[in-house]
Structure 1
Amino acid sequence: MRHLWSFLAGLVVAPVTWVLVTLGQDGSSGTIGRWVEIGKFNTANLIEPAVYLAAGGILLGLLGTLRVSPAGPLLAGLLLVVPYIGMFVAPYEVRDRIPDGWKVFGDPLPLQVPVENGTLFLIGTMLIMATFSLQRWRRWSAPASAPAPAEPEKTAESDVTLTDWPPVASPERDTAAPITLAYPDSTPTEPLPRRTGGESPWSAPPRKPEDSPGIR
């Protein structure tokens, strides 16, 4: 299928390139010729033919350099070479068969110019040479799929499950005596020392029981 699309592309690019090259060459030569006659130049007058030549070069570059089927470049090259080769056999008949008097956007279209100066023969030969690449005749190979990543080796640690962990040690229980409802211990405690009259509680520390005169 790709050969068919390339063949159709070459069938279209060849005549379009012929027209673009003709417009560019005729416009460039006519513009520069007028500059020489009047002794002045205006660069803006050269933009239009330059655009025609650039468009033709882009079409030829896409057809001749991209990785497409070589059927298109081969057909376009032969179509562009044949008129110049015909000049070797019957130049007058070939020249008379080329259309004359056509116009594009009001500009004259002398299709004989690129044939007579050999431009079409040069371009056609370049396109034919592009077909000698053997890789262009082969079908594109499918991109190799990326290898699957290797699985990491399982270790003993990775086999541990949640149920294999040791049980959590229970906190130590309080060893204090349990709380009961029994009466408190009735063992009497030692009475606190008393202070004698006239002494301020802030003047001296409390006395011991044996030092107090009232307690014996």
Structure 2
Amino acid sequence: MKNNIRKFVGILLIIIGIGIFSWVAYTKYTIYKEQQKLKDTFNQVLNQDNKKITDSNNDVNNKSDIVPIAILKIQKINLDVAVGEGVDDKVLDYAIGHFPNTAMAGEKGNFALAGHRNFTYAEYFKDLDKLKIGDDIIVKTKEKEINYKVTDSFVVDPTDVKVLDATKDATITLVTCTEGAKKRLIIKGVLSE
């Protein structure tokens, strides 16, 4: 009887493990496919092909209604990802989000972006802590490619939102969770002329 129970529990644990692995793999695949659609949409914006953009946004397989506003590239951490407007779950589940009411890329002010770094979401900012002062952050918009240089890296409490305040110069702020999600990692940069 004990052997039958052990066998049953063992098989049950294997089935649960396969289910968890399958769920994670499916989630990662879905995020990857959605990110590719966002990049394709952004490239269509660059090419001024409005009919294709409309068709892409009406695609029944499109998981989100995110309209990409830029592409964020950080070569040091092998990041090449679409940026959408807003920082709600709809955006952050598939892309990097631009904080509303902050400057746009290349403008005077604080161009502030948020992204996930944990395992269950689009973990685009998982290696953000590897950035050092002087590293390049590139933002490609419809108009141009903008280069920022990292100037600071620090940790704040989640309630400390002054990192989003406007600035006199053109700056960038990247926001993500620390390991364990108890605090926020902040990367600051300035426009590089």
Greater per-residue helix proportion: 1
Same fold (TM over 0.5): no
Higher-Rg member (1/2)? 1
